[in-house]
Chains A and B, each alone.
Chain A
Amino acid sequence: DGGITQSPKYLFRKEGQNVTLSCEQNLNHDAMYWYRQDPGQGLRLIYYSQIVNDFQKGDIAEGYSVSREKKESFPLTVTSAQKNPTAFYLCATNFDRGAGGYTFGSGTRLTVV
Chain B
Amino acid sequence: SQKIEQNSEALNIQEGKTATLTCNYTNYSPAYLQWYRQDPGRGPVFLLLIRENEKEKRKERLKVTFDTTLKQSLFHITASQPADSATYLCAPAHNNNDMRFGAGTRLTVKP
Q: A residues near B, CB below 8 A? A: 1, 4, 31, 35, 40-43, 45, 48, 50, 56, 90, 92, 94, 96-107, 109
Q: How large is the interface on B (under 10, 10 to 19, 20 to 34, 35 or more residues)?
A: 20 to 34
B residues in contact with A43, CB < 8 Å = 44, 89, 101
A contact residues around B9 at 8 Å (CB): 40
Query: Which chain B residues in 30-73 approach chain A with CB under 8 Å?
Result: 31-32, 34, 36, 41-47, 49, 51
Structural contact, B97 and A42, CB atoms closer than 8 A: no
**CA A94 to CA B96, docked complex, whole Å:** 8
What's the least CB distance linking A46 to chain B, in Å? 13
Q: Determine which of A41, A99, A106 lies in contact with B42 in the assembled complex, contact meaning CB atoms within 8 Å.
A: A106
Known contacts A1-B43, A40-B103, A42-B103; decide if A99 and B89 are in contact (CB<8 Å): no
Secondary structure dominating the interface of B:
loop
How far apart are A59's CB and chain B's nearest CB, in angstroms?
8
Most buried by A among B43, B47, B51: B43
Contact (Cβ within 8 A) B101 A31:
no
Assess whether B96 is in contact with A96, with CB atoms less than 8 Å apart. Answer: yes
In whole angstroms, what is the CA distance A1 to B9 when docked?
26
Of all A-B residue pairs in the complex, the 4 with the closest CB atoms, nearest first, are A101-B46, A104-B43, A42-B101, A43-B101
- The answer to whether A99 and B51 have CB atoms under 8 Å apart is yes
Which of chain A's residues have a CB closer than 8 A to the CB of B32? 99
Q: Assess whether B76 is interfacial by the CB under 8 Å rule.
A: no
Find chain B residues with CB under 8 A from A92 CB.
43
CB closest chain-A residue, reference B31 = A99
